[in-house]
A and B are shown apart, each in its own frame.
Chain A
Amino acid sequence: MATLLLVFLVSACNQQSGGDKAGALGSGDAASKVYVAPGEYDEFYAFLSGGFSGQMSVYGLPSGRLLKIIPVFAQDAEKGWGYNEETKPMLNTSYGFVPWDDAHHPELSQTNGVPDGRWVFINGNNTPRIARIDLTTFETTDIIEIPNSGGNHSSPFTTENTEYVVAGTRFSVPFPQKDVAISSYKENFKGALSFIKVEEEGLDIAFQILVPGYDYDLAHSGKGKSHGWTFFTTYNTEESHTLKEVNASQNDKDFIAAVNWKKAEEYLSQGKAKDFPAEYLVNRYDESTHTATSTKHETVKVLIPSECPGLIYYLPTPKSPHGVDVDPTGEYIVGNGKLSADLTIHSFDKMMAAIESQSFDDEIDGIPVLKFEDVLAGTVQSGGLGPLHTEFDANGNAYTTFFISSEVVKWKVGTWEVLDRAPCYYSVGHLMIPGGDSKKPWGKYLVAMNKITKDRYLPTGPEMNHSAQLFDISGDKMQLILDFPTVGEPHYAQGIAADVVMQNSKKIYPLNENNHAHAIKNESEVKIVREGDVVRIYMTSIRSHFAPDNIEGIKVGDKVYIHLTNLEQDWDTPHGLSVLGARNAELLVMPGQTETLYWEPQRPGVYPFYCTDFCSALHQEMQGYIRVSAKGSNTELKWSVGED
């Protein structure tokens, strides 16, 4: 055995490759490339979607350190998200409280086509929604529901100056919704391409375009010369409604839909849009009141292509294209035909010339179909199988994932020549290069997000976290330098230079700017107010006590709201609050913030409450008691702190 170990060590010492699975790992000093020394910062933030976790995770690159999980569409007991009274409205929909979604594509806001570090958006696929996260606080501040849509997948891709983020339906549905036979698909089912106006103060649906009932899969907006256009891929142009695995893959070509949204704005201002009934909720978290509100909307403006010439065109694209990716110059539109071996690249200039010359193959529901040969710029013949997504570096190269052949292929934009290929472990879906879908990619690294993990890490039973792999792409050859596990299933990610974001990161919420309806600003304002069976406890926290910490006169059946204001004003001094038996999660209150725990006491007794987030040497002492008396008893309502 000793001999065996020695042999192993000697071979490791010589830095030979650890075998096939390590890919290119052994060929250079991979460890030093991903080593971020203790106390040092990563070069990039990476925002990875959580997929079926409903959340977004934030990693540092190149270390692969998990920095934070931002709760978005799913209740998160760790942070009280969707449990405390303030954030419950964020998960409201026209169907009521929906505490989960399938979060797919993070998208950073852009200015002049470059990620600007203000916000990151993400779509909820299942109950169609788009969320916005404020990158000064890394908190979700907006969630808007998308009506007339099913499977909000081609979303929330941004336009060049974040004028809009978009939402295309992956599952067409009756538009507006109605009770019809599923077999009447071709007659009754329609697609909706939605454009959501992005303002500092909130999100709203500017308009929807009523389109044929295909599956609108992914999107990206034009940039530079193609600014003003957004491209959506389609599949199921067969309009089948069953066994799509077979029936939606019959046509040799589907389409990329090219939408001229500046034209749409003209039609809107001319009053060409029709008001369609559409119930949807807009939820907004106000940082000043630390409270979210839901607003119901009942109509949406709809543009109909046959009444709006020049609004939308179809570009024939082979084999059920999945991702549609626009190169940094805005000229090339890459269709990743997922049932193909080749990539199809369209030219924006050629598209404009074909539109100019009115050279159309066909027209579908008022949408002109351009001729494939007229718009084609080139084809990448890669030899791979199942292309899904493409990102770009700063040197005119593109990188495409191939799911079936499990690899990333690097190719030259313009010559379509394959330059390099690297295997992924296993079955890569999305990829991300920092700034890789923008006008100015940072390049340097590529993250491959793999769908299958199998033997990459220590086994953890039947279920394993999905794997991500980091490649150094600064040289001619891609070099695999790190594996790291992810949360849920990352569908896409976005990366941005750390300094763009960190300079705006807030450390506390100023107490004097706290406008919460039930905030108190110091201990002298502590009080308890009873109105019938509704009891409001106005409580404060500071290291290391709550005020009040002795409470009596609460009764079984009361509806108790504990409004906790954290008086701390120093960075990283949150306090938690939990109550024995409360059928709820904890609160986790940031410095200067107010949050509310709802509790219905069930049995008489004395109930401890305590701080759940270790706050100081006297954290264990940060606790109190609430006395609960029987319903109808006359125990006096009183409260105190520091009294015998």
Chain B
Amino acid sequence: MTRTMKNQQWSLLVLLLAILISSCGGNSSSQTGETTTPPKPMVAEEEPEETDPMKNKGIGPISSVELGEIDEAMVAEGKKIYEQMCTACHKIDKKYIGPSPKGILSRRSPEWIMNMILNPVEMIEKDPIARQLLAEANGAPMANQGLTEEQARQILEYFRTLE
């Protein structure tokens, strides 16, 4: 038997099998040539959306934050939590694993900051700025440290003093 003949026989068999399988279930619709979605690249390929970063509130539970006079009690609490939960990756005086929070309130909206703390997984996936930061950190993801909204707000208050 030649190779060609073999191939022809197999083709026939495959065809027969395909017919059998499709007729077997009695439900052979949707055999269209749909293509699967290609895997998403880890790093954003498209340009970040043309929005003012200060107007980007991010994605997460925080839609609005009112900033009043700086509350020193909240600052103290926020500093404590920051040092406890964040300093393995964020140093005040330099970029470490992630960026320094110094001056962050002139770069990001307060809502974005809190959403990044509270909802980092979704932010990294969907928010254009967070995606860019992930790329800058070589793919080191922001860890979800399981903080409450109150704790995130206290950290935000502490960040306001880091100008």
Q: CB within 8 Å of B: which residues of A?
A: 2, 5-6, 9-10, 13, 508, 510-512, 521-524, 540, 542-545, 547, 567-570, 573, 616-618, 642
Contact = CB atoms under 8 A, between A and B. Distances in A.
Nearest to A545: B97
Given A5-B13, A9-B17, A9-B20, A569 B146 contact: yes
B30 to A, nearest CB: 18
A525 B67 CA distance: 33
Contacts of A512: 84
Residue among A512, A521, A542 with most chain B CB within 10 A: A542
Nearest to A544: B140
B143 to A, nearest CB: 6
A31 to B, nearest CB: 12
A5 B12 CA distance: 13
A10 B20 contact: yes
Contacts of A6: 16, 20
Interface of B: 9, 12-13, 16-17, 20-21, 24, 42, 83-85, 87-89, 96-97, 138-141, 143-147
B9 A543 contact: no
A148 to B, nearest CB: 48
Nearest to A567: B88
B99 to A, nearest CB: 15
Given A9-B17, A13-B24, A521-B84, A616 B145 contact: no
18 contacts: A2-B12, A2-B13, A2-B16, A5-B17, A512-B84, A522-B85, A522-B87, A523-B87, A543-B141, A545-B88, A568-B145, A569-B145, A569-B147, A616-B140, A616-B141, A617-B138, A617-B140, A617-B141
Nearest to A512: B84
Contacts of B20: 6, 9-10, 13
Contacts of B87: 522-524
A616 B140 CA distance: 7
A524 B141 CA distance: 21
A642 B93 CA distance: 14
A616 B12 CA distance: 47
A570 B146 contact: yes
A189 B45 CA distance: 79
A511 B84 contact: yes
Contact of A570 (B13, B139, B145): B145
A542 B138 CA distance: 15
A642 B89 CA distance: 11
Given A10-B20, A522-B83, A547-B88, A617 B146 contact: no
B96 A642 contact: yes
B143 A569 contact: yes
B144 A570 contact: yes
B143 A543 contact: yes
Contacts of A545: 88, 97
Nearest to B16: A6
Given A510-B146, A524-B83, A617-B42, 19 more contacts: A2-B9, A2-B16, A5-B13, A9-B17, A9-B24, A13-B24, A512-B84, A522-B83, A543-B140, A543-B141, A543-B143, A569-B146, A570-B144, A573-B143, A616-B140, A616-B141, A617-B138, A617-B140, A618-B138
Contacts of A573: 143
A616 B139 contact: yes
Nearest to A570: B144
B58 to A, nearest CB: 18
